[in-house]
Amino acid sequence: MSDQKTLSLIKPDAVERNLVGKIIDIFETNGIVIEKIKKVHVSNEFAKKFYDVHKDKPFFKELCSYLSSGPIIAMVLKGENVIKKNRDLMGATNPKDAKEGTIRQKFAISIDKNSVHGSDSEENASKEISLFFS
């Protein structure tokens, strides 16, 4: 399989607790290449665009306020099968369900403050990368 790309975000709760290096170390230790990286503080409008797929969910408003509440790290990760690999390393959305050793099991506070985001498909990866890096 050829290299894939995916968007990874380190969310405000993890940036605030100085966990950026520890999270990037997990990616690099697992053979993932950080192709692009930047620190940004997105607006609520931008967050709404980013999370558009969740616009009908009851938690949409809080989700967007949270993503825009402080600086985040946006990255393009590159590697073989990196979309799945990243999601395996992140662990389940709710840290209570995340497997031992995953990023969310180690660092996440709650389902909202769950430290990282990762694209879930090639189609969404491509959309999310263009939104952050165009």
Q: What is the 3-state secondary structure (H, E, C) of 74-125?
A: EEEEEEECHHHHHHHHHCCCCHHHCCCCCHHHHHCCCCCCCCEEECCCHHHH
Piece of 17-25, 78-86, 110-118, 121-129 that binds ligand CMP (CB under 6 A): 110-118
Is 73 a binding residue for ligand CMP by CB under 6 A? The answer is no
Pick one of 24, 63, 77, 83: the residue that binds ligand CMP (CB under 6 A): 63
Angle at 77 between CA 23 and CA 112, to 5 degrees: 50
Piece of 36-44, 68-76, 109-117, 125-133 that binds ligand CMP (CB under 6 A): 109-117
Q: Which candidate, 23, 48, 35, 36, places its Cα nearest to that of 103?
A: 23
Q: Give 2 or 56: the residue with its C-beta nearer to ligand CMP.
A: 56
Interacting residue ranges for ligand CMP, rule: CB under 6 A: 54, 59, 63, 93, 111-112, 114, 117
Q: Please give the positions annotated as active site.
A: 117
